[in-house]
């Protein structure tokens, strides 16, 4: 008679289990190495540089928090912070308002709607430096097309980016022209998800178009507007390419944001330690702004849940 195969003991089963247990570390380690090399190490190195007085070509000296204390008394830093805040606020409000209005227009049905939508989103596809160069030529006081168009209606020529009083609004106009389509697409997606039943009930109750927009459409698309606001805020506060390509922070320091100032400090004056401290402070401001916007977004979600 054939003998039955011997059943494995508990110790043998445990050994097999250990040998066959999946090991995920070979898959995790490459991603972890990339994160450490690309994200963690640069930030640790930047923090380390910020506590040193280090100018390229000279010896490095540990100074502790002296670079951060220097920021507190730097009038040019506070001026660049004010420029950053004003530029950010205007670069958020204008695209959000115009993008929302554009979404309402393109949500309606009319001939060639799809074609016009495609034309409207084209500025968003252009590279910022190319946009900056084109607008710089358009803003030229003598040769620019904008002053020529103003002369046709009797408005005197403007200095645009060459005047300290108008340089930031002019830059905001370029930012608005390029990124209003992004807000329009986000809000348009929200409008596409709005149900029709509340509007049919409102029409039966005699609500006019403004009342339907104020009490139905706007509350329903408010989360999408908030998402667009968050995206635009984070993008505008760290804007660099358009400003640097058009004005380099000028005339004088009239359009010098924190990004431009720290770039000049690091790569024009070669003050690596001080510019690193500026980077850390600027990063903290971005984190603070993001937290405030996310808190507002969270409160909006709670208010939406209460109204349901």
Give the DSSP letter string of 99-148.
HHHHHHHHHS--TTHHHHHHHHTHHHHS-HHHHHHHHHHHT-TTT-HHHH
State yes or no: pLDDT of 1 exceeds 60.
no
For residues 103 and 32, which has the higher predicted lDDT (pLDDT)?
103
Q: What domains does the chain contain, in order, with CATH numbers?
A: 66-274+289-307 (1.10.3720.10)
- Quickly state the pLDDT bin for 12 (edges 50, 70, 90): low
pLDDT tens per residue, range 35-47 = 888 888 888 899 9
State yes or no: pLDDT of 8 exceeds 80.
no
Q: Are 258 and 278 in contact (CB under 8 A)?
A: yes
Q: How high is the mean pLDDT of the chain?
A: 86
112: left (phi over 0), alpha (psi -120 to 50) or beta: left
Residue 62 is inside which H or E element, if any? strand 61-62
Residue 110 dihedral angles phi and psi, to the nearest 5°: -155, 160
pLDDT score for 291: 86
> pTM of the prediction?
0.83
pLDDT tens per residue, range 158-185 = 999 999 999 999 999 999 999 999 999 9
Residue 6, helix vs strand vs coil: coil
pLDDT tens per residue, range 71-125 = 999 999 999 999 999 999 999 999 999 999 999 999 888 888 888 888 999 998 8
State yes or no: pLDDT of 227 exceeds 70.
yes
| CA atoms within a 13 Å half-sphere pointing along the CA-CB vector of 94 | 18
Task: Tell me which residue has tokens 């939508």.
Answer: 117
């Amino acid at each position: 008679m054939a003998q039955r195969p011997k059943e494995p003991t508990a110790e043998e089963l445990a050994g097999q289990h250990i040998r066959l247990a999946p090991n995920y570390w070979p898959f995790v380690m490459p991603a972890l190495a990339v994160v450490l090399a690309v994200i963690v190490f640069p930030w640790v190195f930047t923090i380390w540089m910020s506590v040193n007085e280090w100018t390229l070509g000279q010896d490095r000296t540990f100074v502790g928090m002296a670079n951060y204390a220097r920021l507190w008394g730097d009038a040019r830093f506070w001026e660049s912070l004010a420029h950053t805040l004003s530029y950010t606020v205007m670069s958020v409000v204008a695209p959000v308002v115009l993008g929302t209005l554009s979404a309402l227009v393109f949500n309606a049905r009319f001939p060639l709607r799809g074609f016009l939508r495609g034309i409207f989103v084209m500025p968003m596809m252009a590279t910022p430096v190319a946009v900056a160069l084109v607008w710089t030529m358009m803003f030229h006081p003598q040769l620019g097309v904008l002053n020529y168009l103003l002369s046709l209606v009797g408005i005197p020529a403007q200095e645009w980016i060459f005047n300290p009083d108008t340089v930031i609004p002019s830059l905001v106009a370029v930012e608005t022209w390029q990124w209003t389509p992004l807000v329009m697409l986000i809000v348009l997606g929200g409008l596409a998800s709005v149900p029709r039943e509340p509007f049919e009930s409102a029409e039966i109750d005699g609500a006019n178009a403004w009342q339907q927009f104020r009490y139905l459409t706007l509350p329903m698309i408010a989360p999408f507007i908030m998402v667009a606001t968050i995206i635009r805020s984070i993008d505008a506060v760290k804007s660099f390419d358009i400003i640097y390509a058009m004005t380099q922070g000028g005339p004088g320091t009239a359009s010098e944001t924190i990004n431009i100032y720290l770039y000049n400090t690091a790569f024009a004056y070669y003050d690596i330690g001080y510019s690193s401290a500026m980077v850390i402070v600027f990063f903290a401001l971005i984190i603070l702004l993001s937290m405030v916007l996310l808190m507002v977004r969270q409160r909006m979600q709670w208010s939406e849940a209460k109204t349901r």
